[in-house]
Amino acid sequence: MNQGANTQTVAPLDPNSMENRYGVDGNQPQISSYQYSTGSDGTSWTSHQPVENGNYSNSNYYHPQPTGPGTGNVQEMPNTASFTSSSASGTANVAQDYSGYTPYQTPSDPHNYSNTGYSNYYSGYQQQPSQQSYPQPAGTYQNTGAPYQPLSSFQNPGSYAGTASYSGTYYNPADYQTTGGYQSTNYNNQTAGGYPSTNYSNQTPASNQGNYTDYTSNPYQNYTPDAANTPTSTIATTTPVHYQQNYQQWPDYYSQTEVPCAPGTEKSSVASAYSQSFPVPAVTSEMPASNGQPVPSYAQPWRQETGSSQPAPSQQPGVAGSTSNDAYWMHQTSTVQAHYPVPPQNHYQSPLETKPLYETPFQGHQRATYPQELNSQSSIHQAPLGYRQPTQTTPSVDTQRVSKLQIPTNPRIASNLPSGFTKMDKDSSAAGATQRPAYVSVSMPKPKDHTTAMPDPGALPKSLRGFVERAFARCKDDKEKASCQAALREIIIKAKEDKTLCTRDWDTEPLSSVLYTDVTSTESSSTLISSLQNKSPTRRPKSRWEPLTEAKPFVKSPPTFSTGVKFGGWNHQNENNKKSSESFPKVDAVTGFKPSYAGQNSAKKNFQRPVKRQRFSGGAATAIDDEASSDSDKELTPYYSSAMTLASSAEEKKRRDSRSKRFEKVQGHSRGNNLHKPKNANVGNLHSRRSPALRLSRDFDESGNRAVEDIDWDALTVKGTCQEIEKRYLRLTSAPDPSTVRPEDVLEKALLMVQDSQKNYLYKCDQLKSIRQDLTVQRIHNHLTAKVYETHARLALEAGDLPEYNQCLSQLKILYAEGIEGCSLEFAAYSLLYITLHSNNNRELLSSMSRLSEEAKKDEAVRHALSVRAAVTSGNYVMFFRLYKTAPNMNSCLMDLYVEKMRYKAVTFMSRSCRPTIPVSYLVQVLGFASASTEGSGGKEIDGMEECSEWLKAHGAALIADSNGDMLLDTKASATSLFMPEPEDAVAHGDRNLDVNDFFTSSRTL
């Protein structure tokens, strides 16, 4: 109830608070910050910033979010930017803003956190912030730096000391992706990677996406080093000492938190869907950890960051950022820790079970926490608060509108921000891909990573990869990365749905959408979850199938598509991460504090990210899994490569070159990549195999409440693209691949081909079955379908393949019942004959006879069938064989199967009734041995004679020759000696024409 109340209350509160905050922040700090960032980053940033600023500065910022998810994403981007900028710009501004926010916070807090503990936290936070002020933050940052080192020692050392280690960690995450260990690992990595922004971005990707592992590993690894390098150079060195002391304590927490995280992730993974579940678990674990040991959870990220910063000087830049972040973190941790713990607990505990609840609580918490943070630490916290608040607002919006709106919004955003996007792309390419590089000038290493990543993937458009890279490059924190991943996923899924995946200009796609989504996702983890649930159903159903068809051309196979979709989500997150990272660099450039904010954001995001992941996991967990399973590297690389190709500008080329160089330099990463790849490949295979089923299952999972009949089968229908006329039948074990399904016009040709074919029945049957399959898969129900089934039924009759005939007939009955004009009377006759001659079911015969219309009874075939029935029921063999000779259509084929019985019956009758003899010539004539040939022709007569006498002998009849040498049937002798011989060539399917040898030979020739 509290949560629910909170959500409601929060929504209103947030907008107001958000507006206020934003207004404050946006007005001064944001702009300034943007400018700063732009200055530091370059033109690309400026472009981004403007967009962001506009969003941020505008009270609309929040409002837009509500309107659409896309806007929310955009907002997020701005928010992050604004935050960073605000932090960078000046503590004073931030403080003011925050002060303004504080009131909001308090109200929001009560609503959100009914618990007194929260209020206490809030108060404490507020006080602390005020006291700490900027100087303190700086100190805190330094302190954080120290602790970070120890923490970093865990993962950081590897990452920093050797990129390989990071890559290894990342790879592990990749492996874990499916298991869910990723988040924890990611976090570790992230923290270790220390750096906050880069690490986070990397981490988030890794954690979020098993698929992305390559991406994450490559880009992130690159990024982390870069970021580390850039920030550390200036700030990190100084800060570390202070932090170390503070953080030393943290290590313990870290260790503790880490452990819990892993279990949590596992649990979460189990609970949630595939890959998505993993992220969620990680989040949950983290959250619990934060709850139980609120400080630790924060501490971990912080520590790791610090550690990363400390261990490697090169990383130090990152450290600097991290330190600033750490400072933020510290504040957050100190104040926030308490706060967070509580909020997380509320959120996570409840959220885990019920997502909706989570969402609301999270929002509330987030909001509450934000206010608190803002209040407590005006400058430092302000940024976080501002972020959180925005995010909160976005979450709320998301929760309300997210699912449906986000998708549409993204396009809008893109349209709105094209210029910005291009810039963004550039940034991302430069700053984003090597986001930090741009900041630090270490951008080179990142490019390498990107380049490496680029080559690997082949499925996704290069531009999309570039987009993803950019997004991740901007991610400041793990949280951001996570959110970015989520956002990317969504975007890509949307793109797939829209079928614009390949067509869209990802180079110009605005990252703002991704970033926004990140913020929203991270901060409003609970909301995100809900939003994800909401969104996932709407988006995914489309994405699964529609994307598939569209995606296939792009990606080679359905699995790739799925991965692409998933990756898209990841890409978003990556983008977010990139953005965040970018923002961090910017902050770093401007001031150390800004990074700290970013770090805070990241930290928050980290916590929130899990939530985001959860969301994804809930809805897109399967998708994520698939993505993860599918080789993220390969798939992503295509995107990247496409992005690269698309980005034909000289800058892009330069960046690529620089990236490639970096890549070469980063051996550790490469190793990590190698390690990851095999694992990924395996996973990918599994996923790819499962992918279709998964999609379906996902649909169900996602929709949850959705009934099967609610599924939009039209959306799932495959549209074939195969132009091959000939196609072997293969029973589908997975969702059909449009590239192997023939469209209707080709099927028509195929049918003609089969009809004209001189090959044997087995070949035709195989071809017809494949045609039927393609028809079924494409849900074609028209005259062609009827024609195919009729053709197959006739061929089956011709070959005596009754099982196949029955299959066709049952389908034909359905088709005729639907009013499709076919040869319904012809098949009514077949049906009658079949019942009469083979099923021997009086009730069935009666009902089928009573169903015959007057019109049907006038039909020649039907009349013939009725006559045959009368002949059979009365045992009139003369009539039967006359009808046999005059049978229209394929009636004689069905009668063929009864000829043996009828002849035996006739001979039995005659040998019992006739005395003393019957000439065989008479039997030949009466029992149809002469076939339809003219009885006058002697040769045939003789053939018939021989055939008849052979038949009679085979059935034990006694034959004698009279004085003229004519063969006579000795009826008296035969009466007791007749028997029905065991069919020597009996085959299970009832037709010796279909014996095994024939089957093998024919199948070989097919």
Partner 1 sequence: MAYVSMGEAHRRITEYMNRFCDAVSYQDSSTLCRLLSFSSNSPPLLSLADALNVFQDASSLIRQSDKFSEHGEILAHLFRSLQSYRVGNLVEAYLAFEKFANAFVQEFRNWESAWALEALYVVCYEVRILAEKADKELTSNGKSPEKLKAAGSLLMKVFGVLAGKGPKRVGALYVTCQLFKTYFKLGTVNLCRSVIRSIETARIFDFEEFPRRDRVTYMYYTGRLEVFNENFLAADTKLSYALQYCNPNRERNIRMILKYLIPVKLSLGIIPKDELLRNYNLHEYIKVVQALKKGDLRLLRHALQEHEDRFLRSGVYLVLEKLELQVYQRLMKKIYIIQKQTDPARAHQLKLEVIAKTLRWLEMDMDLDEVECIMTILIYKNLVKGYLAHKSKVVVLSKQDPFPKLNGKPVGS
Q: Shortest Cβ distance from residue 920 to partner 1 (Å)?
A: 12
Task: Report the run of H or E that residue 394 belongs to, with start and end.
Answer: helix 379-397
Stretch that binds partner 1, among 177-185, 488-496, 689-697, 911-919 (CB under 8 A): 911-919
Q: Is 876 in the site for partner 1 (CB under 8 A)?
A: yes
d(C-alpha 654, C-alpha 274), whole Å: 39
Are 261 and 180 a contacting pair, CB within 8 Å? no
The one among 845, 973, 987, 1006 contacting partner 1 by CB under 8 A: 845
Stretch that binds partner 1, among 465-473, 547-555, 905-913, 942-950 (CB under 8 A): 905-913
CB nearer partner 1, residue 732 or residue 914: 914
d(C-alpha 932, C-alpha 22), whole Å: 95
The one among 270, 693, 730, 846 contacting partner 1 by CB under 8 A: 846
The one among 755, 839, 886, 913 contacting partner 1 by CB under 8 A: 913
CB nearer partner 1, residue 700 or residue 816: 816
What residues between 785 and 814 interact with partner 1 by CB under 8 A?
none
Q: Shortest Cβ distance from residue 779 to partner 1 (Å)?
A: 21
Stretch that binds partner 1, among 15-23, 681-689, 781-789, 909-917 (CB under 8 A): 909-917
d(C-alpha 931, C-alpha 934), whole Å: 8
What is the token pair recorded at 36?
A: 């700063």
The residue behind tokens 């380049």 is 451
Handedness of CA 275, 277, 279, 281 (dihedral sign): negative
User: Cα–Cα distances in Å, from 87 out to 37, 147, 373, 374, 593?
Assistant: 11, 22, 13, 11, 6
User: Cα–Cα distances in Å, from 201 out to 190, 517, 991?
Assistant: 7, 14, 67
Q: Is 912 in the site for partner 1 (CB under 8 A)?
A: yes
CB nearer partner 1, residue 393 or residue 908: 908
**H, E, C per residue of 153-218:** HHCHHHHHHCHHHHHHHHHHHHHHHHHCHHHHHHHHHHHHHCCHHHHHHHHHHHHHCCCCHHHHHH
CB nearer partner 1, residue 807 or residue 876: 876
How many other CB atoms sit within 10 Å of the CB of residue 980? 12
> HSE (CB half, 13 Å, CA atoms) of 451?
22
d(C-alpha 28, C-alpha 86), whole Å: 8
Handedness of CA 604, 606, 608, 612 (dihedral sign): positive
Q: Is 870 in the site for partner 1 (CB under 8 A)?
A: yes
Q: Shortest Cβ distance from residue 643 to partner 1 (Å)?
A: 54
CB nearer partner 1, residue 706 or residue 912: 912
* DSSP 8-state secondary structure symbol assigned to residue 434: T
Q: Is 843 in the site for partner 1 (CB under 8 A)?
A: yes
CB nearer partner 1, residue 83 or residue 898: 898
Q: Is 875 in the site for partner 1 (CB under 8 A)?
A: yes
Q: Shortest Cβ distance from residue 886 to partner 1 (Å)?
A: 14
Q: Shortest Cβ distance from residue 916 to partner 1 (Å)?
A: 8
3-state secondary structure of 311: coil
The one among 667, 674, 682, 847 contacting partner 1 by CB under 8 A: 847
Cα of 592 vs its chain's centroid, Å: 39
What residues between 645 and 674 interact with partner 1 by CB under 8 A?
none
Reference 109, options 13, 247, 239; nearest CA is 13
Q: Shortest Cβ distance from residue 824 to partner 1 (Å)?
A: 20
Are 64 and 71 a contacting pair, CB within 8 Å? yes
Q: Is 839 in the site for partner 1 (CB under 8 A)?
A: no
Are 597 and 535 a contacting pair, CB within 8 Å? no
The one among 130, 276, 892, 917 contacting partner 1 by CB under 8 A: 917
Stretch that binds partner 1, among 48-56, 382-390, 493-501, 921-929 (CB under 8 A): 921-929
Q: Shortest Cβ distance from residue 821 to partner 1 (Å)?
A: 22
Q: Shortest Cβ distance from residue 879 to partner 1 (Å)?
A: 7
The one among 713, 909, 979, 1000 contacting partner 1 by CB under 8 A: 909
Q: Is 1001 in the site for partner 1 (CB under 8 A)?
A: no
Q: Shortest Cβ distance from residue 880 to partner 1 (Å)?
A: 9
Stretch that binds partner 1, among 108-116, 241-249, 396-404, 917-925 (CB under 8 A): 917-925
Reference 330, options 600, 94, 32; nearest CA is 600
Q: Is 840 in the site for partner 1 (CB under 8 A)?
A: no
Q: Is 867 in the site for partner 1 (CB under 8 A)?
A: no
The one among 850, 934, 964, 997 contacting partner 1 by CB under 8 A: 850
The one among 103, 292, 418, 919 contacting partner 1 by CB under 8 A: 919
The one among 667, 757, 782, 874 contacting partner 1 by CB under 8 A: 874
CB nearer partner 1, residue 408 or residue 919: 919
Give the DSSP letter string of 444-469: THHHHHHHHHTTS--SS-HHHHHHHH
d(C-alpha 451, C-alpha 448), whole Å: 5
Count of residues near partner 1 by CB under 8 A: 30
The one among 161, 732, 914, 1006 contacting partner 1 by CB under 8 A: 914
The one among 681, 732, 879, 897 contacting partner 1 by CB under 8 A: 879
3-state secondary structure of 967: strand
The one among 926, 945, 952, 957 contacting partner 1 by CB under 8 A: 926
Are 575 and 466 a contacting pair, CB within 8 Å? no
* DSSP 8-state secondary structure symbol assigned to residue 812: H
Q: Is 915 in the site for partner 1 (CB under 8 A)?
A: yes
Q: Is 732 in the site for partner 1 (CB under 8 A)?
A: no
Q: Is 959 in the site for partner 1 (CB under 8 A)?
A: no
CB nearer partner 1, residue 208 or residue 971: 971
Q: Shortest Cβ distance from residue 907 to partner 1 (Å)?
A: 10
The residue behind tokens 């199948």 is 1003
CA angle (877 as vertex; 876, 878 as ends), nearest 5? 95
Q: Shortest Cβ distance from residue 835 to partner 1 (Å)?
A: 12
Are 477 and 580 a contacting pair, CB within 8 Å? yes
CB nearer partner 1, residue 788 or residue 866: 866
CA angle (737 as vertex; 735, 741 as ends), nearest 5? 115
Q: Is 973 in the site for partner 1 (CB under 8 A)?
A: no
Q: Shortest Cβ distance from residue 941 to partner 1 (Å)?
A: 16
Cα torsion 261, 263, 268, 269 to 10°: value is 110
In whole angstroms, how large is the CA radius of gyration of the chain?
37
First to last CA, the chain: 68
Stretch that binds partner 1, among 16-24, 646-654, 915-923, 977-985 (CB under 8 A): 915-923
d(C-alpha 408, C-alpha 47), whole Å: 23
The one among 693, 730, 752, 878 contacting partner 1 by CB under 8 A: 878
d(C-alpha 929, C-alpha 921), whole Å: 9
Stretch that binds partner 1, among 112-120, 141-149, 529-537, 914-922 (CB under 8 A): 914-922
The residue count of the chain comes to 1006
Residue 25 contacts by C-beta under 8 Å, 6 or more apart in sequence? Answer: 56, 57, 82, 83, 86, 93, 94, 97, 382, 386
d(C-alpha 840, C-alpha 883), whole Å: 19
Stretch that binds partner 1, among 9-17, 30-38, 111-119, 874-882 (CB under 8 A): 874-882
CB nearer partner 1, residue 135 or residue 875: 875
CB nearer partner 1, residue 663 or residue 834: 834
Reference 567, options 642, 508, 516, 512; nearest CA is 642
Strand ranges across the sheet with 967-970 = 917-919, 967-970, 959-961
Residues that bind partner 1 (CB under 8 A): 842-843, 845-847, 849-850, 870, 873-879, 906, 908-910, 912-919, 922, 925-926
